[in-house]
Amino acid sequence: MGDFRLRVFYVVAREGSFSRAAAELHLSQPAVSLQIKALEEEYGQRLLDRTARGARLTAAGERLYRQARRILQLYQEIEAELLSPPALSGELRLAASSTLANYLLPAVLAGFQSEWPKVRLVLASGNTRQVAQWVREQAVPLGFVEGPCALPGLKVQRLAQDELVVVRGRRFAALRTPFSVGDFLSLPMVMREPGSGTREALEAALRAAVPGKLPQVAMQLGSTEAVKTAVELGIGLAAVSRWSVEKELRLGTLLAVEVQGLALRRQLFTLYPQGPAPGGVAGQFLAFLRRALRAQRLARTGV
């Protein structure tokens, strides 16, 4: 990705506006201000003239801008050279636990596929323990899971953040909003089976908020799709990954419910066998995935 600070400057200069640049870079406007300020302090001179209608380059800024373009171009060349090695091909076997396999990875796989059409992709899904096992046995070079997972011979690395969102059906009576954790615990829940990453994350968050209390499980189902349907039918509430209910939230068949004081975030991890980070196709895929996740932070849809 190269030199972030320089990229920020470049975009601000090109757009002639701090806030437009912030939007384009998926940053807040103050963050952009700070980056520019740091750059100006590094060089000891004003690079941009702030006006009421945006920003214009100073003479020094003009000089920097010209060089910045050249540098950023070189970074692009690097990406082109390093990320498109001589026609990657072969088979890439991956393993992922349910939410990742169903909602996050498919889009990424599609993008990867279109960039390297010669690679045959195979995605297995299983629970966290299975995925870890497969990776440790080297059945797959790379695995993705939704919960903490430590096994000897296994390297675990944080990949992204996922946000769980509590949803209700349209007709499910909304108490006063926002809910307290207490309200929440008094309502019937639809849940996945114990051991599912989503369920464990919810229970961990509840333990942290109100030790010793567990939610009332009105119904237990084996897949997120089934859970969503049950919630749509008004059986109860559920906590699911924001990724899995994007469409339903847009359609309005499910409604997000805010529960105060409940930190429903969890980490997503990537697994690979102990030793150096995977290279070859697997390495390329991981790098591709990381770039996709970074780009996707735009959507503010978790991550």
Partner DNA sequence: CCGTCCAATGAGGAGATCTTATGGGCGATT
Partner DNA sequence: AATCGCCCATAAGATCTCCTCATTGGACGG
CA–CA separation, 206 and 227 (whole Å): 19
Closest Cα partner for 102 from 197, 191, 219, 203? Answer: 197
Residue 154's alpha-carbon distances to 37, 134, 286, in angstroms, are 43, 10, 16
**Binding of a copy of itself by 108 (CB under 8 A):** no
Among 274, 279, 280, 299, binds DNA (CB under 7 A): 274
Give the residue with the Cβ less far from a copy of itself, 148 or 283.
283
Residue 240's alpha-carbon distances to 5, 228, 233, in angstroms, are 36, 8, 16
Could you tell me the smallest distance in angstroms from the CB atom of residue 192 to DNA?
A: 24
CA–CA separation, 143 and 122 (whole Å): 12
Consecutive H or E run containing 285: helix 280-296
Q: Which of residues 225-284 bind a copy of itself (CB under 8 A)?
A: 276-277, 279-280, 283-284
Q: Which does 51 bind (CB under 5 to 8 A by kind): DNA, a copy of itself, none?
A: DNA
Give the residue with the Cβ less far from a copy of itself, 80 or 173.
80
Among 82, 175, 214, 299, binds a copy of itself (CB under 8 A): 82
Residues 6+ apart with CB under 8 A from 83: 284, 287, 288
Could you tell me the smallest distance in angstroms from the CB atom of residue 290 to a copy of itself?
A: 7
Could you tell me the smallest distance in angstroms from the CB atom of residue 89 to a copy of itself?
A: 16
CA–CA separation, 7 and 71 (whole Å): 10
Among 26, 69, 93, 291, binds DNA (CB under 7 A): 26
Place of tokens 């990381």: 290
CA–CA separation, 141 and 33 (whole Å): 42
Among 64, 109, 191, 221, binds a copy of itself (CB under 8 A): 64
Show the tokens assigned to 37.
Answer: 């300020």
Among 7, 9, 11, 18, binds DNA (CB under 7 A): 18
CA–CA separation, 2 and 107 (whole Å): 25
Site string for DNA, 147-186 (x = CB under 7 A): --------x--x--x-------------------------
Q: Which does 26 bind (CB under 5 to 8 A by kind): DNA, a copy of itself, none?
A: DNA
Q: Which of residues 37-96 bind DNA (CB under 7 A)?
A: 37-38, 50-55
CA–CA separation, 216 and 234 (whole Å): 15
Stretch that binds DNA, among 22-30, 130-138, 176-184, 246-254 (CB under 7 A): 22-30
- Contacts with a copy of itself, residue ranges (CB under 8 A): 1-3, 6, 37, 40-46, 60, 63-64, 67, 70-71, 74-75, 77-78, 81-83, 85, 276-277, 279-280, 283-288, 290
